Amino acid sequence: QQPVQSPQAVILREGEDAVINCSSSKALYSVHWYRQKHGEAPVFLMILLKGGEQKGHEKISASFNEKKQQSSLYLTASQLSYSGTYFCGTEPGAGRRALTFGSGTRLQVQP
């Protein structure tokens, strides 16, 4: 079952912060986050594994609440280069060993 992402879209000014949420109805093994710019392929940002800690990548970090099957992506002090569509992908704790992606959150950072 597809994870639910929120919000569907967000517009920011440079320097503002944003949070993107991803929620699943299934127990999860891991959550992946990818960013896709228009007309390009998705690019890996980070993985959060069951039992793992919060991960960070410069001004982009994420958390994973295993009990609630939820993950959040935090973008701080946003830059123009952060614009794109963000997808979470979830791996279940059991069953098919592959990702199911959410429908995406479109992020636009304006000057």
Q: Verify binding: residue 101, another protein, rule CB under 8 A.
A: yes
The contact pattern for another protein, residues 10-39, with x = CB under 8 A and - = no contact, is: -------------------xx-x-x-----
How many residues sit in the footprint of another protein (CB under 8 A)?
24
Rounded to whole angstroms, the Cα distance separating 23 from 12 reads 23
Q: Verify binding: residue 44, another protein, rule CB under 8 A.
A: yes
Q: Which is nearer to another protein, 44 or 77 (CB)?
A: 44
